[in-house]
Structure 1
Amino acid sequence: MSRSTADSASSVTLPTPKERRRLREALALSEEQVAEAMGVTKATVRSWETGRSSPRGRKREAYASLLGTYGPDDAPTSPESSNSSERAAEPQSGPPSPVRPQAPARTQTQAQAQAPAPAPAANAANVRPKAAAKRAAKPPKAPSPPPVITAGPARKGTPKPQERLKPVAAAAPQAAEERPAGPPAVPGLTPEEAFDALYAHAAPGLVHQTYLLTGRRRLSREAVEYAFHHAWEHWPEVAVDADPVGWVRATAYEYALSPWHRLRRTHKYPDAPPTEASRRALLTALLDLPAPYRRTVLLYDGLGLDLPETAAETEASTPAAANRLLHARTVLAKRVPELADPDALHRRLSALVTEAPTATLPAARTVRTGSERRTRTWTRAVLGVTAVLIGITGFTAATAPTHYIPANAPGETVNGVPVRGGPQKLRPEDLQLRDQLRSEPNPGPERLIPAAE
């Protein structure tokens, strides 16, 4: 591979890990199909979609072409164009644009027609000829049907039609229009100003969402503050993320749903439920759900995320997220009968999520300085403990003896007669037995002694 080809392949910009997974499912491709087309294992494809690794070289270009985010016309043809594209791809110092990168809209027929198409991209990625010949001989696989969400128990014996999950390619632009992914990106903002804008935009709503998850107002404020402390510590990573609000939301949810909070007295029991009957019934039913099911239904029906995004944020597979959503809707329909219709549940949860937050939060500057102060404190503590261990180790090495000197035991005075050694003294019975054995050495029959002639 020439240097120009390598530079062209390395300059290909891939979407975010969550977007890679969403694009693959929009094309109705499984992990096995992508792995077979790329000539890698299923575990490698999963690591690409979770962000643990990324393809390199020509596999990167082939993977981008497979997802539909890169074409032959996008490759730079000269070093000048390559440098200009790299400069254009450099991240700005401020937060990213609130609109997520969306895949081109595809119908189901187009997705089925494009499903067996990765073979040319795989050949470009140096796939083994035998594997390519086997794939060419195989008939094209039909894409698996999308999971189906049932509408819950029917009312008065009338069957309800089944509600299909939202199509990924069609629902993503709508979700991006309904809920902003973050504050608008303004070029020229300093990191502090960008963080303050993100905090002012997302913190109040995240506190209210976390309260719906846990039922504890104090814990929700603590979780959001912890999430923004963590975001400021990893701000270079958060600033270039396609969805900074989702990054902070996932951190806050993970902290708030940690089971260790049950051991703390202040967070052991939830707060008093609201006085309104409908709100109290819905919040009580939500808190009765297991934490993963509660989080899934809040993300899908409350925030309007599509199923692949919900599965990626909850670190579950798409079928597992669909099953959690079905179970959560069934339980909520049993507890609150008027929410048996998924549309009604979606409206109620959306209304709860979009309520005006009433929590009072510290200023963004206070959160930033608190994060920096905590980082300095932990750094100093680690350095102090390390210095103490080094000092103790040096003192021990300096004062420890270099060789072993055996200690001679001092002499002691022995009083009394030592114990007599040898066999025990024979008793009269033993003496009589001994004499008898000596006098009658052979009590048996007489022995035949041959006589010599």
Structure 2
Amino acid sequence: MTQSPAIQLPPPKERRRLREAASLTRAQLASRVGVTSETVRGWETGRATPRGRKGEKYARLLNSLGAEREMTEPHVSVATSDRGRASTPGRSARSRPPARHRDRSRLADRGRAPAPDRGRTTARVMLADRSRAPDRAKTPYRPDDATSALAPEQAFDALYAFCAPALVRQTYLLTGRRELAREAVERAFQIAWQRWPEVARDRDPAGWVRAVAYECALSPWHRLRPRYRHPEPPPPDAFDRALMDTLLRLPPSYRRTLLLYDGVGLGLPETAAETEASTRAAVNRLMHAREAVAERLPELADPEVLHWRLVELASTERLRAAKPLVVRQAGERRARLWTRAAIAFTALLIGTTVLTVRTAPTRYEPPVPPGATVQGVPPPVAPGPLSESERDLRTKLRREQQRGPDRLMPQPR
């Protein structure tokens, strides 16, 4: 019996790139091949290998998508050379993503912000969050080039404008509180501005800020604040209220894993690293979270449907972030306040130490030894009543004049 030859398939990242370049969702591709969306996810992440007739059909479909892309790329390059630097290259109607595919950037902290100049383009390369963006061929990022292209304030403002709106919506799904979401995101960016040299040279600045924002939002100390002791008004839609209630019933670690994987779109290794857990623990948390959501809302059993529902739930709330200048100034004021408080505390400590040194004794004073018990000493006896003769003698002595002995007086010559 002869075996069928192995199916020639591109790498997993290339499979996902071809699908997204053709503006196809996992559900659409799965319907063409005849499998489920979860199977396509496994093929694109490398957890599963296509086999049999389904694999052959999948390989033929990818080859056709690759051929279509090769046919459209020359036209794009010609249009780019004709237009010059004034505009971005045009795309065919098939390569343009549909409206709901473009809406994914509203929840995931990525996007294709317009680049009015060369500095903005460099900032986008430096600050882009690759969490849910397709794996295209990118120019390797060099921190020195990005730092020389933009001032620190401009780079921070670009990062804030790129990530803050979507990050506020993500944090709202994580906490269910609108004001807490804005406060956590602003605090995360204030910390990022204080440590900007470290953040600017990080491989994923958006992921750095997102991790800090999630930690600030999930801090258990918020329950002690009076303004967060009472729940906020729920979403107006009944299904949105049920979904938000289901999310808030999950443990914080499960909720965060579900949001990162099914909401933002990170892979399992990235999700495990950001939640500080092993990949196996992240998989267990994700499965339990999906089971809990599907148990209360059976229509969200499909991860693709769950993703779009999370996008819609986050988009219904009009959550706006503050201006980047306001966040930077608030962070600088907070840093100055803590610096002055530290200086005042240090001065107080130094003054207390000097006062202690000045008032401390300069010589050794031995301590007073504790008293010792002496045995054999008779107890003190109080005087008793006087007898009749003693009273008479006392009376006599008091009546008579007290005189001393006669003294010799010297006579003058």
1:214 and 2:175 correspond = yes
Work out the CA distance in 1 between the residues paired with 2:38 and 2:303. Answer: 10
How many pairs are equivalent?
A: 254
Give the counterpart letter for 1:308 in structure 2: P
Match 1:372 to one of 322, 332, 355: 332
Look up the SS of the partner of 2:228 in the other structure: coil
Equivalent pair of 1:204/1:357 in contact (CA under 8 Å): no
Consecutive unaligned residues of structure 2, counting only runs of 5 or more, are 1-9, 14-35, 49-100, 114-120, 124-145, 370-376, 382-413
For the Cα contact (< 8 Å) 2:109–2:167, is it kept in 1?
Answer: no
AA of the residue aligned to 1:366: V
Distance in 2 (CA, whole Å) between partners of 1:168 and 1:363 is 37
Equivalent residue number for residue 419 of structure 1: 379
2:319 maps to 1:363: no
Alpha-carbon displacement from aligned partner over 1:346-369 (angstroms, at most 9, x marks no partner)? 22224434x276234332111111
In structure 2, the residue matched to 1:297 is 258
Q: Kindly indicate whether residue 179 of structure 2 is the aligned counterpart of residue 223 of structure 1.
A: no
Question: After superposition, what is the alpha-carbon deviation per residue over 1:299-329, rounded to whole angstroms, capped at 9, x for unaligned?
Answer: 1111111111111111111111111110011
Q: Which is higher, the Rg of structure 1 or of structure 2?
A: 2
Runs of 4 or more, structure 1, over 3 Å off, are 105-108, 160-171, 177-184, 350-353, 404-409
Q: Following superposition of structure 1 onto structure 2, how do residues 371-410 of structure 1 map, counting pairs within 5 Å?
A: 371-405=331-365
Contact 2:168 2:320 in 1 (8 A): no
The change in CA–CA distance for 1:193 and 1:382 in structure 2 (over 3 A counts) is same
What do the CA deviations read for 1:238-275 (whole angstroms, capped 9, x no partner)? 11122211111111111111112112221123312112
Identical counterparts, % of pairs: 56
Report the alpha carbon displacement of residue 373 of structure 1 after superposing the two structures with TM: 1.4
Change beyond 3 A, Cα 1:333–1:169: closer
Deviation at 1:167, TM superposition (A): 4.4
CA–CA distance in structure 2, aligned partners of residues 340 and 408 of structure 1: 81
Does the C-alpha gap of structure 1 residues 214 and 317 become closer, same or farther in structure 2, counting only changes over 3 Å?
Answer: same
Give the letter aligned to residue 182 of structure 2: R
Alpha-carbon distance, 1:336 to partner: 0.6
Q: 1:250 aligns with which of 208, 211, 225?
A: 211
Q: In the alignment, is residue 267 of structure 1 matched against residue 228 of structure 2? A: yes
Partner of 1:185 in structure 2? 122
Task: Give the partner amino acid of 1:221.
Answer: R
Contact 1:166 1:306 in 2 (8 A): no
SS in 2 for 1:185: helix
Q: What is the CA distance between 1:214 and its match in structure 2?
A: 0.6
- Deviation (angstroms), 1:343: 2.5
TM-score by length of 2: 0.56
CA gap 1:334/1:189 in 2 versus in 1, 3 angstroms: same
Structure 1, gaps ≥5 residues long: 1-104, 109-159, 410-416, 422-453
Distance in 1, matches of 2:43 and 2:175, equals 27
Structure 2 contact 12–43 (Cα < 8 Å) conserved:
no
Question: How many Å separate the matches in 1 of 2:281 and 2:367?
Answer: 71
- Give me the whole-angstrom Cα distance separating, in 2, the residues matched to 1:356 and 1:274: 8
Change (3 A) 1:332 1:404: same
TM-score by length of 1: 0.51
Q: Write the deviation string for residues 202-229 of structure 1: whole angstroms up to 9, x where unpaired.
A: 1121111111111111111110111011
Relative to structure 1, the CA distance from residue 400 to residue 276 in structure 2 (aligned partners, 3 Å threshold; closer, same or farther) is same
Q: Provide the C-alpha distance between the structure 2 equivalents of 1:189 and 1:370, rounded to a whole number of angstroms.
A: 22
Amino acid of the residue matched to residue 152 of structure 2? P
- Inter-partner Cα distance in structure 2 for 1:408 and 1:287: 66
Q: Is the 8 Å Cα contact of residues 181 and 244 (structure 1) preserved in structure 2?
A: no
Q: Deviations over 1:413-438 (max 9, x none)?
A: xxxx95179xxxxxxxxxxxxxxxxx
**One-letter identity of the residue aligned with 1:389:** L
Determine which structure has the larger helix proportion and give its number: 2
